């Protein structure tokens, strides 16, 4: 459990940093990076949740808090997979069809604002592609980020805040369930074992 305690402390730290950065009125380029970082951190939270469900036995409210953010986290994971961690070829093809002005903008070595709009158009396409036969799976309809970015921005910031609230409660429980050492527990034996570590490539998913 201590590994997950470390994991969620890292996610909490990253989301706190992202939250504060959004409040600081970031530049256009920085805003895109913050969105991508948000999607990655929120996906890490979602993917790790199944490993700490033992903690829900300590607090039924914690399980309820996660259920309230799960749908949003799943949406963010979809966006992370095709827009942030990887830029999907099919997404780019769809963006060029959805936003024909992209081809005109790409003909120029443009300003920061133009570069920002290219990312926004691809992100908007990714958001709108989260759909099925009945319509959009998260929002009520397609969105236009260039015309009104507040719907997505407000969703993302609210989800970050709700996730931080969940993490604050979770980390208290994980700390109690983990074998947290004290400074006086650092003996020579600990450093002897550290010297015996043999580094090698870590396989994904382990």
Instruction: Indicate whether this model's pTM tops 0.85.
Output: yes
In the chain, where are the structural domains located? 2-87+147-195
The neighbour count for residue 123, using CB atoms within 10 Å, is 22
Task: Give whole-number Cα distances, 139 to 13, 117, 134, 151, 198, in Å.
Answer: 28, 21, 12, 9, 49
In a 3-state reduction of DSSP, which class is residue 98?
helix
Rounded to an integer, what is the distance from CA 149 to the centroid of its chain?
Answer: 18
Which 3 state secondary structure label does DSSP give 160? Answer: helix
Q: What is the pLDDT along the chain (206 residues), one digit of tens a residue?
A: 889 999 999 999 999 999 999 998 888 889 999 999 999 999 999 999 999 998 898 888 999 999 999 999 999 999 999 999 999 999 999 999 999 988 887 776 667 778 888 899 999 999 999 998 888 889 988 899 888 778 999 999 999 999 999 999 999 999 988 877 777 777 888 889 889 988 888 887 65
């Amino acid at each position: 459990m201590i590994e997950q305690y470390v994991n969620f402390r890292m996610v909490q730290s990253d989301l706190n940093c992202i939250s504060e950065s959004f409040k600081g009125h970031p530049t256009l380029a920085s805003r895109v990076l913050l969105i991508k970082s948000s999607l990655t951190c929120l996906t890490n939270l979602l993917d790790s949740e199944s490993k700490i469900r033992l903690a829900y036995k300590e607090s039924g409210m914690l399980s309820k808090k996660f259920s309230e953010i799960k749908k949003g986290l799943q949406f963010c994971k979809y966006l992370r997979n095709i827009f942030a961690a990887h830029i999907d070829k099919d997404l780019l093809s769809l963006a060029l069809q959805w936003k024909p002005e992209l081809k005109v903008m790409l003909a120029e070595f443009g300003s920061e604002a133009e570069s920002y709009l290219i990312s926004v158009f691809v992100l908007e396409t990714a958001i709108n592609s989260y759909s099925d036969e009945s319509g959009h799976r998260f929002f009520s309809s397609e969105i236009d980020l260039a015309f009104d970015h507040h719907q997505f921005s407000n969703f993302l910031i609210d989800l970050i805040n709700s996730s931080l609230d969940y993490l604050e409660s979770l980390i208290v429980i994980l700390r109690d369930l983990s074998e947290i050492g004290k400074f006086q527990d650092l003996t020579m034996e600990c450093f002897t074992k550290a010297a015996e570590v043999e580094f090698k490539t870590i396989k994904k998913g382990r």
